């Protein structure tokens, strides 16, 4: 849309984004109508189309800002750390904290991947996340910290474990971010058979 907004307008836009995020996440994108959104906020329909070009535009906006914010948080968390595995751990921990605060986004991204009109955007975002991770894995392989292999596949596996434990442990079971992050790292670092699998899933080596 790219419209100049006054502070008041900015706030309305924020209300729409927040409410739509919640409705889309709990009811689904398609079953949630624009009418439902404006009624829920007690405003006229024109308000919606003042701030967004279309329902699809709104959804893309939610997706884009979410992905951007997560990446920002991860980069910030890694800070000045130079060791690749340590960087990865920091990013994973930060991600878990982030998901707790943005739980609705999980299901929205999952949905977006299943629809032809949104999938390309999601894939682009995931490509970035994969590349970020792949680079760290490759570095760790080069320095001999972890065994050689296909860095891309390994990175994908790490993302998979993070993703599924975020969904099932963090979001569904409501377990603390800290604990879940411990478990992600524990499993990714040592697997099932490998060395020190801490009983509480909390001890790591690196």
Assess contact for 78 and 98: CB atoms under 8 A: no
In sequence order, the 6+-apart residues with CB closer than 8 A to the CB of 59 are 20, 24, 29, 108, 112, 118
CB of 28 to a second copy, least distance (A): 4
Assess contact for 19 and 54: CB atoms under 8 A: no
Assess contact for 61 and 105: CB atoms under 8 A: no
Q: Which of residues 147-176 bind a second copy (CB under 8 A)?
A: 147-150, 153-154, 156-161, 163-165, 168-169
Residue 189 interacting partner from a second copy, DNA, none (CB closer than 5 to 8 Å by kind) = a second copy
Q: Which of residues 48-77 bind DNA (CB under 7 A)?
A: 49-50, 54-56
The two three-digit tokens of residue 176, written as one number? 């603390």
Judged by beta carbon, residue 57 or residue 101, the one nearer DNA is 57
CB of 6 to DNA, least distance (A): 3
Residue 58 near a second copy by CB under 8 A: no
Residue 116 near a second copy by CB under 8 A: yes
Residue 40 near DNA by CB under 7 A: no
Measured between alpha carbons, how far is 79 from 91 in angstroms, rounded to an integer?
Answer: 10
Judged by beta carbon, residue 27 or residue 65, the one nearer a second copy is 27
Residue 183 near a second copy by CB under 8 A: yes
The two three-digit tokens of residue 187, written as one number? 């499993």
When binding is defined by CB under 8 A, the residue of 2, 114, 144, 174 that contacts a second copy is: 114
Assess contact for 96 and 102: CB atoms under 8 A: no
Residue 17 near DNA by CB under 7 A: no
Measured between alpha carbons, how far is 28 from 84 in angstroms, rounded to an integer?
Answer: 38
Segment near a second copy (CB under 8 A); pick from 8-16, 40-48, 97-105, 198-206: 198-206
Segment near DNA (CB under 7 A); pick from 42-50, 69-77, 96-104, 146-154: 42-50
Measured between alpha carbons, how far is 116 from 101 in angstroms, rounded to an integer?
Answer: 28
Measured between alpha carbons, how far is 57 from 54 in angstroms, rounded to an integer?
Answer: 5
Judged by beta carbon, residue 51 or residue 99, the one nearer a second copy is 99
Cα pseudo-dihedral 62, 64, 70, 73, rounded to 10 = -110
Q: Which residues bind DNA (CB under 7 A)?
A: 3-6, 8-10, 12, 30, 32-36, 42-47, 49-50, 54-56
């Amino acid at each position: 849309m790219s419209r100049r907004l006054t502070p008041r307008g900015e706030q309305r836009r924020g209300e729409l984004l927040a409410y739509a995020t919640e409705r889309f996440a709990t009811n689904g994108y398609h079953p949630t109508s624009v009418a439902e959104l404006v009624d829920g906020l007690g405003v006229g329909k024109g308000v919606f189309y003042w701030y967004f070009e279309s329902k699809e535009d709104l959804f893309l906006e939610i997706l884009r800002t979410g992905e951007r914010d997560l990446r920002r948080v991860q980069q910030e968390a890694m800070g000045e750390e130079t060791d690749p595995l340590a960087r990865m751990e920091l990013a994973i921990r930060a991600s878990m904290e982030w998901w707790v605060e943005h739980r609705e986004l999980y299901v929205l991204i999952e949905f977006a991947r299943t629809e032809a009109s949104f999938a390309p955007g999601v894939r682009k975002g995931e490509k970035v996340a994969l590349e970020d991770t792949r680079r760290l894995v490759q570095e760790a392989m080069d320095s001999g910290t972890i065994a050689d292999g296909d860095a891309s596949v390994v990175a994908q596996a790490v993302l998979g474990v993070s993703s599924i434990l975020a969904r099932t442990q963090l979001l569904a079971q409501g377990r603390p971010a800290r604990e879940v992050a411990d478990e992600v790292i524990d499993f990714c670092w040592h697997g099932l058979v490998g060395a020190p699998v801490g009983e509480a899933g909390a001890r790591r080596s690196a």
